[in-house]
Structure 1
Amino acid sequence: MFGALDTSTSALVANRIRMETVAANVANANSIEDANGENVPFRRRIAILSEGDAATGKAEGVHVRQIMHDPAPFMKKHLPKHPLADKDGYVKFPNINTINEQVNALEIARAYEANIQAAEATKAMMQSALRLLA
């Protein structure tokens, strides 16, 4: 029975990390420079989930296996007077679509809520079982 709580807990942790990744993407949606002032935009991050609980080594649950960079190409805008424009007048911008990130955030929030409900249901079942045994 405690495994069910562990499963919900691992999913809550994984969804928190996913939400942090989305938040970082939205926060950097307009970051077009690297530390050296070059036109190297922020690259979108994606949290990759994997089965099992890496913290306990159990097969149940889920964890973030890695946070990878999205290989999609950067967006380009024609801004010939911009100081970071290339020879053709284009400036590279992050490969982040804030609308997609908002949809991802909504989906993550719903998954988080579902796991809270699952944990609450598990706790209620455990309490009922203990009452029956007492």
Structure 2
Amino acid sequence: MGTFAALGIAGSGMTVYRKWLDAVADNMANINTATSTSEDAFQARYVVAAANDNLGGESGGVHVAGAVFGSAEGRLVYEPTNALADEDGYVRYPDIDASSQMSQLIMAQRGYQANAAVVDRARDMYSTALTIGKS
């Protein structure tokens, strides 16, 4: 592992967690987005992370490998007063569970904070190492 590998690994973790936070925020922002029954519902986005592998077989952090999307079918809700309602009075909402999204938000936030703490500790360690030979 190189001298500054901890910064790179923790930085890649912060990037993945930031993208996870973005996906959760987007899902939460669209949880009440209604569409007509002839259209697809908003599809929740879930981030897929994968490990990076360096040439020496050493771990090199993580990256976003892609995204998985939720069901476009959503859930039908009876709202005859909604302007988007069909002739039977139904509109389509995304099938997103707010409590699950809040749990994911907390996990992503804590993961981001943990990686930020690693960056801070590594920076402090490297700064201290530079001052050892000065005295």
**TM-score over 0.5 for the alignment?**
yes
TM-score w.r.t. length of structure 1: 0.79
- Equivalent pairs, count: 128
Map of 1:62 onto structure 2: 62
Tell me the SS of whatever aligns to 2:68.
strand
Tell me the SS of whatever aligns to 1:33.
coil
5+ residue gaps in structure 1?
none
RMSD: 2.6
Kindly provide the amino acid, as one letter, of the partner of residue 15 in structure 1. Y
Map of 2:41 onto structure 1: 41
CA displacement, residues 87-123 of structure 1 (integer Å, 9 cap, x when unaligned): 6654321011122212211111111110111111111
Map of 1:91 onto structure 2: 91
Contact 1:8–1:115 (CA<8 Å) still a contact in 2?
Answer: yes
Map of 1:22 onto structure 2: 24
5+ residue gaps in structure 2?
none
- Over the matched positions of the two proteins, sequence identity in percent amounts to 28
Contact 1:38–1:84 (CA<8 Å) still a contact in 2?
Answer: no
Aligned: 1:50 with 2:32? no
Q: More deviation in 70-79 or 93-102?
A: 70-79
Tell me the SS of whatever aligns to 1:62.
strand
